[in-house]
Amino acid sequence: MDQALAKAVINKLGATGTPPEFGIDSFTIGLDEYLRVVEDEYLKGILRFNLSSFKLITGNYGGGKTHFLYSVRDRAFRNNFCVAYVSLNPTECPFDKLELVYRQIASNLMAPHATDRPVEEKGRGPGREPAPVPGRVAGGREFELLQRGQGRVLGAPG
């Protein structure tokens, strides 16, 4: 990671307390064993056989849930999985309204891409455009990859 990007990650963490959407691997400590289990047992294990699994991440505010999920997302990208980050809440996306959950998954689907820097869009580069928010479509690349059969949807049958 170059110095400018490292400063951007530190500034984001310091200013808001929330992890940035990119570059988080360089600032992750203590999750190695958990991430290894996720990668070995799920990404390289049961999901390769078109089986699925569900895990619910809970914790207090500031407990590292988003950081952990971004780290899982990064591992999924490295294993060529598509992912979607969806926040379930009682008003906008209640977990018992499956049509709303599915809509959020579809609209937030992201194809595998490098996670150590912001997604570059045509005519834009790092430093000139803020980091993508989860679910932002970078030039439609996510859906092009899915249509061509590249990438897989994490946790869904193939």
Query: Using one digit for the tens of pLDDT, what is the confidence trace for 48-96?
Result: 888 888 888 888 988 888 889 999 999 999 888 899 988 888 988 998 9
Report the alpha-carbon distance of residue 135 to residue 108 in Å, rounded: 4
Q: Decide if 28 is inside a domain.
A: yes
Question: What is the model's pTM?
Answer: 0.67
Question: What are the CA-CA distances from residue 50 to residues 2, 3, 62, 78 (Å)?
Answer: 38, 41, 34, 18
| pLDDT attached to residue 14 | 82
Question: What are the CA-CA distances from residue 152 to residues 44, 49, 112, 138, 145 (Å)?
Answer: 12, 12, 9, 17, 9
| Structural domains of the chain, count | 1
Average pLDDT of span 23-42: 88
Across the chain, mean pLDDT equals: 75
Asked if residues 149 and 143 have their Cβ atoms less than 8 Å apart, the reply is: no
What is the domain range of residue 76? Answer: 3-153
Q: Decide if 27 is inside a domain.
A: yes
Question: Hey, how many other C-beta atoms are within 10 angstroms of the C-beta on 19?
Answer: 21
Q: Decide if 95 is inside a domain.
A: yes
Beta strands in 37-102 (DSSP E): 81-84
Token representation of residue 136: 């932002």
Q: Decide if 158 is inside a domain.
A: no
